[in-house]
Structure formats: structure tokens, C-alpha cells
A and B are shown apart, each in its own frame.
Chain A
Amino acid sequence: MTSKKKPVSRFLAQYSFIIVFVTIFIIFAITSNGLTVNGIMNIFRHSAVIGIIAIGMGMVCLIGEIDLSVGSMLALDSGFAVVIYNLSGSILVTLLFCLAFGALCGVINGMLVGYVKMPAFIVTLATMLIFRSFAQYFCQAIPKDLCGGGSSVYRMVNSIDSYQAFYGFGNGKVASVPIVGLVLVVIVVLFTYLTTSTKFGKKVYAIGSNVKGASMTGINVELMTVTVFVIAGVLVGVSSFLWIAMNASSDPATTGKSYEMYAIASVVLGGISMSGGRGKCLGILFGAMSYTVIDKIIVALKMDSLINDAIKGMILILVILIQIAGPQLKNKLQHK
């Protein structure tokens, strides 16, 4: 290669999400008066649910679509999973339900987008409303004992034998690393492999880059679209499972509220193009973790938590501003 760019600057351009994360992390280190292992590991723990959802969102964005329903889907899936757990008392059955129900939600989104060819924004906006409403309605409509006796919250019954094991899974640690954080890491590794080294992954990028061209190479775009939405749904299923393991309950009014927005923000911060075809799976992990660290900084500075979203929004604009305006500025300076 006779490329003029130095390896370092090319690396920085491709992995800008690491710089963002490191910068935010340093601020965190300064503001929190000394880092503890615990503090760092907590970042993992609190990134798990949003991180896994964001990976699914990332896949959807890579084919050039969007899924606004993931937050509501989390509320519905986790709520129903609590009911299933209360009925069955089995962790395994609950896990399988979470995955299957997430997949079902994904199929609905995917079929409407892929085969009926409705715009993803509209379809998932509608299912976002539907899922949230169902989650809240059924919480009131079903017999009280199924949702753990709570009035407006799905609560796991703590007298079930496996309750301690389940809750322990959500809050336990292996060698001081939170188990849910490990799940996140495993999924990131899995999807990094999927997107970089498999035929399936390359098809995802191809569709996002040029739908017509992709279909002319024999790719079944409709089926791939459904598959990707199902993957996003299944990952919401995984998140639902982690959510109830961590919290032992799910409040249909607040669980996953605005998570679709945080997921999209993580995806964008991670360097994935919203029009599809470009970006790295690893970026999403760093994008999601960056946002978790921002939360921690706000806590450390004892700021009002209501200012939280404003700061997250500003950082998103700032980072994208640097990414877009940076090269233009550099170009101008070079040709002065």
C-alpha cells in the first residue's frame, strides 16, 4: 500500500470509539477520587442490558433499518417472563421463554418490514406503542398472584426454590467480574465473529451497502431482514432474562424506557452508519459502556440525575461533530 495515511491515524479513524471511551473514562477516574476494581466492574454490570440490546440494534442498523420497539419489547418480554417464572418456578423455562418471545416480537417486526415492505420506522414505532401498552395492561388484567402480588409491577415470588439461585446469577460475580458483564462480553465476541468472519455477516453488510446489488448476487433480502429483526428480538430476550435476574422484578411503565434511543446512540457512538453497511460490532460495546460511565460520572459529581440525558445528548452531538467536521476542517487547513 502506498497510502499516505499513517497507520496510527488510520487506526484512530477506525477505532475512534475507543478514544471516546478512554476520554470519558479518564474523566470518570478523576471525578470519582480513585478507581476501585468494584467501580470498574460495575460499569460492565450496568452496561449489560443496554449493551446487548444495542448489539441487536447495531445489526438492524447495519442492514439500513431501525428498530424503535426494543425498549418496549424489553418491558413486555421481561414482564411476561416474570409471570412464566412465577408459574413454572424454573429458570430454564424462563430463559427459553425470554428468547422465544423476543424472537416472536422480532418476527412480527421483521415480516412487516421484510415481506410487506413497510418502512421500519413506522412498523417499529407502532410495535413500540403496542408492546408497552400490553406490558402495562396485562400487569393489571391478570390475577395478582401471577405478578407476585404487586399492584403495578411484575414481581418474582421469592418463595420459589430457585429464587436465590436466579437472583444470585443476576447479581453474582466470578473472580470479581459480574456474571451479567460476562454474558455481554460473550455476546460481543460472538457477534464480532458473526459480522467479520461469516458469510451471514457479510450479507448483512452487503444489504446495508446496496440492497439492489445485494439481491442481484442472490441474497434473499426479505429473509435476511426478518432474520436480523429476529436476532434483535432474541437479544432483547437475553436482556429481559438478565433484567429480571438482576432486579427480580419488572416495572412495565419504566423498564426499558428510552432504551431504543440509548441503543441507537450507542450504535452511532460506536461508529456504525445509520444508513447501513459500515461499522464495527466492537464499537457498540464501547458506545454502550461510554454511556454507562457518563451515568457514573454524574453520580460521582453528585449532580442531579435529571441532567443525565442532556449530557448524553451533548456528548453524542460532540462526538459526531468531531467525526464529521474534523476531516473537513483538516482538509481546509491543508489547502490554505
Chain B
Amino acid sequence: MNLLEMKNICKAFNGVPVLKNVELLIEKGEVHALMGENGAGKSTLMNVLTGVHPRDGGSIVFDGHTLEHITVKKSEELGIAFVHQELNLFNDMTVYENIFIGKEYVNRFGRCDKKRMVKKAAELFERLDVKIDPLEKVENLKTSEKQLLEISKALFFDAKLLILDEPTTSLNNEEVEHLFQIIRNLKKQGTSFIFISHKMPEIFQISDRYTVFRNGEHIASGLIKDTSPEQMTSLMVGSAFSSKDVYETRPTGEVVLKLANYSGPGFANINLEVKKGQIIGLTGLQGAGSSELMQCMFGATCAEGGSMAVAGKEVPYHSIHQAMKAGVAMLASNRKENSVIGDMSLLENMYLAEHTLSAKHFHIHKQKEEKRFEKYKAMLSIKAQSSSDSILSLSGGNQQKVFLARWLNTNADILLLDNPTQGIDVGAKAEIYKLILELAREGKTILINTLEIPEIQKIADYCAVFYDGRIVKILEHEEINEQTVMLYSTNAVNV
């Protein structure tokens, strides 16, 4: 018998259908991978299931109950727990308080029974083999521990179905393995999981069955052991995807960017020369200094020594405006925090950066800006209905393209791309790689910082590997592969 049956679910936002008669069947005690590109409708379906959004049509049966009207509270009571990608914990409170919030054990006089709660929490952690002190403050926990705490919290209240939305993004390999071990144990006890992830190897490691969505439609379901990552990818992206190599060599010009003994917060003594039209990949472990270097080059943080010269001219420290004037642009990481201006339209989001350079021309010529937008929309194939739509109405990949347009619009020659494909699905990623190569061919100089080595392999001419704030090795295109990069980024060569 199925634990959950969602059939013919329909949902539209402002008349735009995002779920078209989709179905999702979850068996008891299985890990079910829910796959699809960003904007395919996975999150919407989960929000329908957990009562965040009401559905327009379709039926939901959970654990034998037919659910007509779902609220967040009701779904929780029934045993559906949603562990969000962004964690919902109270940082200023302790671990046990977070677990019991709103459901505290109290004694006869209404006083919180701390002893009992701590004991129960400790028992839970022991059962799950999670090493967290119930009395620790949540802000002192590592990200991975917070993730485990979220999951433990859901389990404490007997969740029958756990929805894990990209649970491994902030975990290292060892922590992922630990999480999977916990999932496997719980599975044996009959708990079901919906596992949402973009990481193919993990899905094949942990899941039993899968369901693929594309553009709000149900595409396929089946057993994981009957499919392959390649087949899965093509199911997700449809016909548009081709995995063939996009890299090509191209002529490069003179040196346009030169860093000499450049030091700043998180990195030191960086020497780097980049020629016009080159694509340089920067990588290293989290916190190795490559992202910090980029922010500093763009003037978002203050350099501590050395110099950065663009086309022979030195760029002053700590001024985004000066960096932009020198022709440097940066597509920042953490799109939501650093790029999205949520209250503004696509057009406004696009022209904002250029306007800080041309602030002297006070008036906005709307038609001229519209024309530019149309140009970039066609060039970057941004999928949007109208330039006056809210930026929030687009999927992550399309948002990122709008921000790419924002910086191309400034006519910058040097593009710093910090983790540009973060949270973007496979199809859009491939498109962005193609765009980066095209831009380089047109003479843009591109630095791309990413932790994903296959990404660098696809597009970079050279790869600078960071370790502990320094460049330890510059690899040429042919030398770039996961093993070599990992060797240098863990500094294994110098053991």
C-alpha cells in the first residue's frame, strides 16, 4: 500500500499553470527521489502537500486519510515533515529548546520540564547516532549539525514522511555518508523519504525509486536500479540537453588584468596575469580564499596590500564604483542575498548597475532601456513574459541570466563570476557554460570561481587552485581533472 498518493494535482499562480495533472506515489519505507530542473514544480508540489499553498485540483491520500483541505499544522500532525533547504532554527536558543518549541513538556504548574526534555533529546540523538549536546546553543553548531538537528526534530514527533530539500548542499562527504546511514536505518523502521537533490551520484546512492518532473508535468517514475544518470538527465531536461564538450581554444590578447602580491581578508600574495579573452577558473576548498579574492577585486572588501591593475591602470582599494569604472563586473554568489532586488522588475534589475555609472544622465529613457533588455533577452535566451514582471517570478537559472545581462550592460571587459551556477539546474547550467565561452570569444575576460571541478573542466583555459589563501598551482586546460585539482586543493602534494 502506498503511504502517499497525490493524483492529478493542478496548481496555477496568477493564471500561469505550474503543476499540470502531476502524480506522486510514495511507498512505505522507501527513499523517493523527486527530480526536475529548477522551476519544474517540485517545490510547489511539496508546498501543496504541506499545506503552504492550496491546490487547484486533484486528490491527496496520506496514510489512508483523504486530505481535502490541508494546513501546515494538519500536515505536521499527520506526520509529514518538511526539512527545508534554508534551515528554520532559532539560533539564539539551545538545541533541546529548538526541538520542543511549541510542544514543551511542562509540569503541573506549567513550568517547563527542562530535565525531561534534555533527557528525551539525548535519547533521540543516541538512537540516531548524532553527536550533539542538547544544551548547546544552536548558533554554535556546524551547518551539518544543524541539518541533522532539523531532521532529528522531525523524527522526534514521529514523522512518517520526511521531505528533504537538498539536504547535502552544506555537508562534506563524510557528513553526507553519516546522513545517509541515518536515512537507511530509518527506512528499515518504515519511515519514507522524499529526497530532492541536484546531485546525481547521491541520488543513485540512496534512493529506491524516482519521479521526474519537467515544466510542471509528470514525465516518468520508476526504480532507480532500472535507470542511469544519463537517462535521468535527459528525462529532466528533455531534448534540449547535449552533454558534448563545449570547450574550444580561442585566440587571446595582451594582459588586461594583473594582480601583484595582492593580499586581503582571507588570501595573501596573489600573483596572477590574465590575458584578454581568457577564462580562468578559480577553485579550492570552501574558505580557501578564491571567493574572498573575487570580492576584494570587486571592491566589496578592502585589500590589505599589493596591487590590482586593469589594462595597465591600478584600481583603488575598496570601491565597487571604481572597480566598475575600470571595467570590472562581478556576478556575486548567493544570488538571493547579493543580486536579487525583489521589489523590482526584470528591466529594473537589469539596468540598475549601469545606472550607477551613468548617474549624471538623470532621466531614464524607458524605450531605450526596453530595447537593451530585448537584446539581452534574445542573446541570453531569458525565458520571461514581460520586462515588467517581478524578478521573483523567474526560476533561478533565468534570474542568473538577468544578472548576467545586468553586468554585460555595463560594458565591463572583465567578468568575475562567483559560483554562477549555484542552485541552477542541469539544462540552464549547460546554457550558462555556452554563454561564458561565447563571451570569451567576443573578447571578454572571465574569472570563474566554483567548487565544482567538472564545471572548470568544461570551460576554463587555466585553473588556479587555492589552498589556505594562496594559489598553490595553476593547471592548464588539459591538466584539469577532479583528481589533480583535489590533490592540490587539499595540499596533498606537499605532505
Contact = CB atoms under 8 A, between A and B. Distances in A.
A9 interface: no
B332 interface: yes
Nearest to B407: A217
Interface stretch (B205-213, B310-318, B352-360, B441-449): B352-360
A208 B385 contact: no
A215 B363 CA distance: 21
Contact of B362 (A198, A213, A215, A335): A198
B343 A209 contact: yes
B38 to A, nearest CB: 20
Given A1-B386, A198-B364, A218 B69 contact: no
A304 to B, nearest CB: 42
A206 B359 contact: no
Nearest to A332: B54
A202 B343 contact: no
B436 interface: no
Contacts of A197: 363-364, 366
A278 interface: yes
Interface stretch (B94-102, B334-342, B427-435): B334-342
B23 to A, nearest CB: 21
14 contacts: A2-B15, A198-B363, A198-B364, A199-B359, A199-B364, A205-B348, A206-B341, A209-B341, A209-B342, A210-B342, A213-B339, A219-B352, A273-B343, A277-B344
Interface residues of A, number: 30
Interface of B: 12, 14-16, 54, 69, 300, 320-321, 324, 330, 332, 337-344, 348, 351-353, 355-359, 361-364, 366, 385-386, 406
Contacts of B342: 209-210, 277
Contacts of B355: 199, 202-203
A84 B359 CA distance: 36
A202 B338 contact: no
B280 to A, nearest CB: 21
Contacts of B356: 199, 203, 217-220
A116 interface: no
Contacts of A1: 385-386
B300 A199 contact: no
Contact of B300 (A209, A214, A216, A335): A216
A37 B443 CA distance: 67
Contacts of B324: 218
B93 to A, nearest CB: 24
A220 B322 CA distance: 11
B363 A217 contact: no
A212 interface: yes
Contacts of A305: none
A137 interface: no
Nearest to A198: B362
A302 interface: no
B348 A202 contact: yes
Interface string A1-22: 1111100000000000000000
A206 B15 contact: no
Given A206-B352, A216-B332, A218-B356, 9 more contacts: A3-B15, A197-B364, A198-B362, A200-B359, A216-B330, A217-B353, A217-B356, A218-B324, A218-B353
A202 B364 contact: yes
Given A217-B352, A218-B324, A220-B321, A205 B337 contact: no
Nearest to A217: B353
A218 B330 CA distance: 10
Contacts of A215: 300, 320
A202 B341 CA distance: 11
The 3 closest A-B pairs by CB, nearest first: A4-B15, A277-B343, A209-B343
Contacts of B406: 217
B343 A218 contact: no
A205 B14 contact: no
A187 B319 CA distance: 34
B407 to A, nearest CB: 9
